[in-house]
């Protein structure tokens, strides 16, 4: 039996795996191999790194968390407060 997707049981939709399964993550969950809420977003030009970053920021703001954005290239535009 092949298992697809990953679901923390809380959090929000994050992505789909290569088999089309939904990945739902609670970015603040701790335990086992998760000791912090840092992300590394990598990919070639044009695959949506800035878009996914903006969506992550919006999700955090919508659930009531504050975000500090350091954006030396000024890619994030207001209103992100």
Please state the separation of Cα 76 from the chain's center in Å.
Answer: 16
Contacts of 9 (CB under 8 A, 6+ apart): 26
The residue ranges of every structural domain in the chain are: 1-38, 39-81
Question: What are the structure tokens assigned to 55, written together?
Answer: 């969506």
Q: State percent of the chain over pLDDT 70.
A: 88
Q: What is the pLDDT of residues 24-36, one digit of tens each?
A: 888 888 888 888 8
What pLDDT was estimated at residue 77? 64
Query: What predicted TM-score, i.e. pTM, was given to this entire model?
Result: 0.63
Question: Where does the pLDDT of residue 1 fall: very low under 50, low under 70, confident under 90, or very high at 90 and above?
Answer: very low
Three-class SS of residue 24? strand
Span 51-68, average pLDDT: 85
Question: What whole-number distance in Å separates Cα of residue 75 and Cα of residue 51?
Answer: 10
């Amino acid at each position: 039996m092949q298992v697809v997707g990953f679901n923390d049981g809380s959090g929000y939709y994050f992505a789909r795996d290569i088999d089309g399964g939904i990945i739902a993550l609670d970015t603040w969950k701790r335990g086992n191999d998760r000791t912090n809420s840092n992300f590394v977003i990598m990919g070639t030009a044009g695959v949506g790194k800035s878009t996914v970053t903006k969506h992550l920021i919006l999700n955090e703001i919508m659930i009531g968390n504050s975000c500090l954005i350091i954006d030396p290239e000024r890619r994030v535009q207001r209103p992100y407060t």
